[in-house]
Structure 1
Amino acid sequence: MLRDGQGLEVGAADADAIEALDFLREEWLVFGKRFQPFMEAADREERCALLPALAANLVLSMNSIEGRALGAGYLERAKALEQNANPRERAWIAATEAWLAGDGDRSLALHEKIVAGWPRDLLAGKLGQLHAFNQGDAKALMRIGEQLLAANRDNHFVWGMCAFGLEECNRLDEAEAHARTAIEMERKDPWAHHALAHCLEARGRMVEGVAFLEGVADTWEDCNSFMYTHNWWHLALFLIDLDRTDEALALFDNRVWGVWKEFSEDQINAISLLARLELRGVDVGSRWTDVASYLKDRLHDHFVAFLDLQYLYALARAEQHGAVTEMLASLEDRAERAKPFEREAWADAAVPAAHGLAAYAKGDYGEAAQLLGRAVPHLATIGGSIAQRSLFGAFHLDALMRAGWNDAAVKILQIDERERPTVPATKRALAELYRKLGRTELAMAADYQAGQLARQYRSVKGNAA
């Protein structure tokens, strides 16, 4: 029995199949865009079940109706070849079948089982982390990364994968160290760049974040649209917090939106960036209309709640009222059909959050604050990263402020300031609320600190120029 480049046995494989599998592993982990040769190899394969099984996972990761249809076809071919498969490959087929059936919990468990038994299977770890990410299971994300690292300490991809899991569990010192180790081993590791960006963002180290990402951005040119647009999205977040919103809006136009407008990941990068810019008072013009025009077929997707909420908000901002009404009803139906392991995500988080976002877009801030407040304690379950989900907390905070619920808003802002004391906008918002509450000295102090930070950042920008 032949082995792949990681030393794993592959059932019924010839040299061409091994070459295709090794190519896929490297291309997937580097977030490349040259997947067509592998898909053609999978289409030709008549003996090795692992090729069509992995092809199914690749298209399912697109989060689209078309991807599901293609995935079903590849899974059928993998099952037809299952008699040639070894136990690891049968577990892959079972995990793929569970994913296609909408049982992400079982798919995650099976991928964790593969990683435990064959920790050199890096793609099993990558898919396991994807399922953990989509379920908001940070501990599983971290477990998988740590298990992979124990058996692959010579592999920079694994250091980056482990770093992201640690970051999502708020083990920021370890996460940063792991990400930097990956980058020292291989400068062109976009996922390690991404993990380090998360660490810097979590601590409000925006100047450092801009310098770092701009320093490695030249390595993203060969990345697929998700990784390319998402790392530029991270740079835009740093710029927004540095009050350089004009530069962030330019990144939206030139880097974040327009690579592959039909792809779900590109869409949510665009949606969340526009929303964050508007929350900071930026006029984004007609951009919502363009983004929403690509969402008309997303109303009943419901692959990941985190995605659905952003689709809905974009439609609401584009004033697609009929589509919003239809999608809200569809989300409620999805929540009714939720499996036990996903009920919190859909019923307790997604449905009230969706109604809250729709209310916010209409200017019904009291209702938005109430509905988003119901969802906030459950948001970790909807999927996405801490940084991505913070958008919904930002909507909740802004709704509280606009509705005049100042005491509740101050408490949230004080927590934000403790965690990220370097953001001028946070201090300005606190100053505004302190004035409304008659706490004049605190308002003056917050205003002074905001001004000091803003001058400091302008000075750094001027020196860099």
Structure 2
Amino acid sequence: MMMWLMNYMLNLRTSCYSCLENSKLNFDLFYLLLKEFPRDLVSLKRAQVLCFITGRPDLSLSLVHQVLPQNKGESFIYGMLSFPSLELGRMKEAEEAAKRGFEINKQDSWAHHALCHIYQYECRFKEAVEFMEECSPSWSSCSSFMLTHNWWHVALCYLEGNGPMNRVLEIYDHHIWRELDQPDAVAAEVYLNAAGLLLRLCVRGEMDIIGDRLKILAEYLTDKANWYMKWQLDILTVWTLAKTGEFSKAEELLEGLKLKRISRMTKKKQRVMHRGLVLAEAVYAYGSGNDRHGLEILGPDFDAHSFKLIGASDEQLDVFNEVWYIMLLNAGEAIKAIEVFERRIEKRQGFAFLWRLLESAYKLAKMPEEATIANEKARALECAYFQ
């Protein structure tokens, strides 16, 4: 029985789509395997990938706690403890775990990643950048995803912290896109981080500085070999293709998500994963310039953090919240936008971009005094981040 179980796990495909149908079975088998072999951290990592792409950080955390007593001296276990903790909003526990992993092994890229998540969430952008860039020489042996994803975080910290824009583009060119030159690069993992960063720049009105980068990315993403691998990548691909005028390709991918993916699932899974399709349709509308339709698709109470089932972290999902924010403003929904931005600022008062959005909403609502206050708050934060 146990030998069969081990062989099954070794052959388990961990693409987003293939795991969704049997996620409960797969999780139960990992639970049994780790109960028998609690020091098998490779299997634990595979189990966490399954939990991640099915949006279950709670199960991921429970598995780590199951085997933590037998692995207290291993740095890697603490990165695996930190990540689901931060995804569940337990930032203090997450930071303690990540720092413990870093103490044991200063080159643990997963600990670096978890600490950056925490610093970023807390708007400690300069601290995050300095820490990550100091650690970056040790990432040369990482997988395509881990290398480009850690650099994606660095670029995002520069962007969100009002750092130099040329540094954001340098990171894209030299540490994300250039990874494709490596013989062992996994292209889809590079495209995921590339598209995610370019969408962030688009949301912030920085399309002019992107140059040909989005068009070049779209040329690669028209290749159907890159489709249907991960929900998150498919959704970003839909936006990339629509934004660059490849409407027929974007529509073909959307139709394929309906007919080739959703329709093949059980009725129960269809109801769950329909939300991923909704998000894809909304970013298609956004990329096509149809903000009003995008708002109708997402509804008045959208929160991207409830879409973990597309296989994305809170930080990766935040860009879809930002897309929704911009669509609210572009559609002239000033009062709703003010309500949303004020509520979100309560959770992240140190995030200048939210204050800038609130300023825009106040101006749209013809509330000049409030707009001035929001402007002053945003400016103070922008000047403080990298001082």
TM-score normalized by the length of structure 1: 0.75
Residues 317-369 of structure 1: CA distance to partner in whole angstroms, max 9, x if unpaired? Answer: 2221221111111111122222355334421x122211111111111010112
Contact 2:188 2:226 in 1 (8 A): no
Partner SS for 1:421: coil
How many Å apart are 1:456 and its aligned residue? Answer: 2.1
User: Which residues of 2 match residues 384-395 of structure 1 at below 5 A?
Assistant: 384-395=312-323
How many Å apart are 1:139 and its aligned residue? Answer: 0.6
* Residue 196 of structure 2 corresponds to residue 272 of structure 1: yes
Partner SS for 1:327: helix
**Could you list the runs of 5+ residues in structure 2 that have no partner in the other structure?**
none
Corresponding residue of 1:94: 8
Residues 134-182 of structure 1: CA distance to partner in whole angstroms, max 9, x if unpaired? Answer: 1111111211222232220010000111111111111110000100010
Amino acid at match of 1:118: F
Corresponding residue of 1:311: 237
Contact 1:345 1:379 in 2 (8 A): no
* Residue 33 of structure 2 corresponds to residue 114 of structure 1: yes
Structure 2 Cα separation of the partners of residues 180 and 269 of structure 1: 25
Corresponding residue of 1:130: 49
Amino acid at match of 1:257: W
Partner SS for 1:258: helix
Contact 2:52 2:311 in 1 (8 A): yes
Counterpart among 138, 147, 163 of residue 82 in structure 2 = 163
Corresponding residue of 1:45: none
* Residue 257 of structure 2 corresponds to residue 338 of structure 1: no
How many Å apart are 1:423 and its aligned residue? Answer: 2.2
Corresponding residue of 1:369: 295
Structure 2 Cα separation of the partners of residues 156 and 227 of structure 1: 17
Amino acid at match of 1:336: S
Structure 1 Cα separation of the partners of residues 230 and 151 of structure 2: 23
Structure 1 Cα separation of the partners of residues 172 and 271 of structure 2: 33
Higher RCO, 1 vs 2 (CA within 8 Å, ≥6 residues apart) = 2
Structure 1 Cα separation of the partners of residues 335 and 8 of structure 2: 51
Amino acid at match of 2:106: R
Corresponding residue of 2:382: 454
TM-score normalized by the length of structure 2: 0.90
Structure 1 Cα separation of the partners of residues 327 and 160 of structure 2: 20
Contact 2:124 2:385 in 1 (8 A): no
Q: 1:275 to 1:317 in 2, by over 3 A?
A: same
Contact 1:203 1:419 in 2 (8 A): no
Contact 2:176 2:193 in 1 (8 A): yes
Corresponding residue of 1:439: 367
Amino acid at match of 2:270: R
How many Å apart are 1:185 and its aligned residue? Answer: 0.6
Structure 2 Cα separation of the partners of residues 123 and 434 of structure 1: 51
Contact 2:126 2:157 in 1 (8 A): yes
Corresponding residue of 2:213: 287
Contact 2:125 2:385 in 1 (8 A): no
How many Å apart are 1:262 and its aligned residue? Answer: 5.4
Structure 2 Cα separation of the partners of residues 205 and 124 of structure 1: 33
Partner SS for 2:279: helix
How many Å apart are 1:127 and its aligned residue? Answer: 0.3
How many Å apart are 1:264 and its aligned residue? Answer: 1.3
Corresponding residue of 2:131: 212
**Could you list the runs of 5+ residues in structure 1 that have no partner in the other structure?**
1-86, 461-465
Corresponding residue of 2:118: 199
Contact 1:300 1:327 in 2 (8 A): no
Amino acid at match of 1:297: D
Residues 242-294 of structure 1: CA distance to partner in whole angstroms, max 9, x if unpaired? Answer: 12233212211111112127521111100010110111121211111211222
Q: 1:443 to 1:169 in 2, by over 3 A?
A: same
Counterpart among 329, 336, 354 of residue 408 in structure 1 = 336
Aligned-residue RMSD, C-alpha: 2.1
Greater alpha carbon shift after TM alignment, 334-343 vs 182-191: 334-343
How many Å apart are 1:410 and its aligned residue? Answer: 2.0
Corresponding residue of 2:327: 399
